[in-house]
Amino acid sequence: MIPGVISTGLESWGTSNISRPYFRKRLWGSWSMMRALVMEKEVWKKHIMLNKRTGLDPPDIKLRAAQGFDATDFFITGYWIWNKILENLASLGYDSTNSFTAAYDWRLSYPNLETRDHYFTRLKCYIEMSVHVENKKVVLTSHSMGGQVVFYFLHWVASDQGGKGGDDWVEKHIDSWINVSGCLLGAVKDVAAILSGEMRDTAQLNAFAVYGLEKFLSKDERAEIFRAMPGISSMLPIGGSAIWGDLDSAPDDQPGQEHSFGSFLNFRIGQNWTTPDKNFTVDEAMKYLLETTDDWYRDQILGSYSHGVAHTRADVEANEADPRKWINPLETRLPLAPSLKIYCFYGVGKPTERAYFYRSPEPGSITNLNMTIDTGLTQGEVDHGVIMGEGDGTVNLMSTGYMCNRGWNIKRYNPAGVKVTVVEMPHEPERFNPRGGPKTADHVDILGRQNLNEFILRIAAGKGDTIGNYIVSNIVEYSEKAKVYDDE
């Protein structure tokens, strides 16, 4: 099991004076985090942010991912994440000897996961040991950003620059990959979080709540924290205008829509505003983000990730030798493992951030940010400066659905013909259940959804071939409009 972003607890192993009171306490994912955040905010920030230049531990600070099932079963007491899946797997005879949670420090860039924690080496060794002991191939289950981690691992493990397993390693060791709510092409809300420390949840707060949040952890501080966690930037949108659209149209635009989703960052004109004089596509927003942030952030992102599209088989094959491309399913291929099976399970029908209106910061406000979400704008399809599209409430439908429904049907991205099964799960929450109940399809709460758990058990029991495709959204139509073409 490979968890998603922020769901793994992080505990302090530092022994310096600043860290001693928190030794082996979780500074992410527990009540200790809440206490530290309230009582000693600056100390907590020093622990949670990585060194800006190296992307590794700051001096005298040592935070590590909690290990074992405890790392991801609950975020804080009572807020389950993987617990329901673990409980159900136990009914098939799974326990701590034949299942494993591959928890990781989600703040680190993917190359640094290996550099500092040898994460991918340890994952490879565990899988090899499991196959040796059980004499069966393993099933990988990932959630959210964990899907990107798995995709990166599948390249790393075969490459001479990584695990040196060779092109047949995946075929020999992995039976299935269950990709739950996988943000394979990123999430557009990541741009807003890193650009201005905001997202829809903060944009929709009332004035009193905004005042409280700003006093406690300002937009500047939030943006700085997000930037000092290069792992979070792995979820910046991938595919540029080909997937997310240009200023006039986007693949997932609706008929009669007033604002195209392709016009991603929109700017109204205001007196003394210093915002750009034209709207931005996702491509232009990414360029603007890298131009207006510090060089240390730019170096981390450009040195670790790539967000483009490879349009020919030759380009895709060449990219297998470039570790920066391994995160990107539009620039690299699936492993050469014809018997591998991929299952994409994701939620649909919950409004999800898709585009934004931005403005200059309020006159007289003390901020280093160039812009902020225009929360005063609510008209038509714009809600507090945020335009909503389709998805699971966190990740956009184009990200969860494009590769599974279209991308991996293109030969250059799936030369071995790996079978991909897609089940979309409509969001049908219970009215008075805070976590949505057995039919929720929310990005996180889906992990407790009844039929998702049933499908995971079927696959773990070797009965995955009984699961058929089930598509209720317009993802096939949207995917055909994306400007990624089959060169065959």
CA 442 remoteness from chain centre: 14
pTM of the predicted model, to two decimals? 0.96
224 and 336 fall within a common domain: no
pLDDT given for residue 204 in this prediction: 58
Residue 374 lies in a domain: yes
343 and 358 fall within a common domain: no
397 and 384 fall within a common domain: no
211 and 343 fall within a common domain: no
C-alpha to C-alpha distance for 171 and 232, rounded to whole angstroms:
30
| Nearby residues of 37 by Cβ (< 8 Å), 6 or more positions away | 44, 217
Residue 358 lies in a domain: yes
What is the pairing mode between strands 386-389 and 382-383? antiparallel
131 and 49 fall within a common domain: no
pLDDT given for residue 211 in this prediction: 63
Which residue in 130, 263, 443, 479 is the catalytic one? 443
Over the range 464-473, which residues count as b (16 or more CB within 10 Å of their CB) and which as e? beebeeeeeb
CA atoms within 13 A on the CB side of 333: 27
C-alpha to C-alpha distance for 268 and 27, rounded to whole angstroms:
40
Residue 100 lies in a domain: no
344 and 414 fall within a common domain: yes
1 and 149 fall within a common domain: no
Is 443 noted as a catalytic residue in this protein? yes
Tokens of 160: 């001479």
Computed from CA positions of residues 62, 63, 69, 70, in that sequence, does the dihedral angle turn out positive or negative? positive
| Nearby residues of 383 by Cβ (< 8 Å), 6 or more positions away | 200, 204
CA distances from 460 to 238, 417, 464 (A): 31, 22, 8
CA atoms within 13 A on the CB side of 90: 9
Q: Report the number of distinct structural domains present in the chain.
A: 3
403 and 316 fall within a common domain: yes
pLDDT given for residue 341 in this prediction: 99
258 and 383 fall within a common domain: yes
CA distances from 311 to 308, 332, 402 (A): 10, 10, 16
pLDDT given for residue 275 in this prediction: 85
13 and 133 fall within a common domain: no
pLDDT given for residue 405 in this prediction: 98
Residue 97 lies in a domain: no
Backbone angles phi, psi at 132, to 5 degrees: -65, -45
275 and 358 fall within a common domain: yes
Which residue in 144, 181, 196, 233 is the catalytic one? 144
Residue 442 lies in a domain: yes
Is 144 noted as a catalytic residue in this protein? yes
pLDDT given for residue 214 in this prediction: 72
- For residue 37, the enclosing domain spans 1-81
206 and 282 fall within a common domain: yes
Which residue in 190, 253, 392, 442 is the catalytic one? 392
Q: How many CB atoms lie within 10 A of CB 428?
A: 13
Tokens of 43: 């100390």
Residue 4 lies in a domain: yes
pLDDT in tens, the chain (488 residues): 999 988 899 999 999 999 999 999 999 988 888 899 889 999 999 999 999 999 999 999 999 999 999 999 998 888 889 999 999 999 999 999 999 999 999 999 999 999 999 999 999 999 999 999 999 999 999 999 999 999 999 999 999 999 999 999 999 999 999 999 999 999 999 999 999 998 876 565 566 566 666 778 889 999 999 999 999 999 999 999 999 999 999 999 999 999 999 999 999 877 777 788 899 999 999 999 999 999 999 999 999 999 999 999 999 999 999 999 999 999 999 999 999 999 999 999 999 999 999 999 887 777 888 899 999 999 888 999 999 999 999 999 999 999 999 999 999 999 999 999 999 999 999 999 999 999 999 999 999 999 999 999 999 999 999 999 999 999 999 999 999 998 76
Task: Show the CA angle centred on residue 45, arms to residues 193 and 71, nearest 5°.
Answer: 80
Residue 253 lies in a domain: yes
C-alpha to C-alpha distance for 232 and 234, rounded to whole angstroms:
5
Rounded-to-10 torsion of CA 136, 137, 140, 141: -40
pLDDT given for residue 210 in this prediction: 61
pLDDT given for residue 273 in this prediction: 77
Residue 96 lies in a domain: no
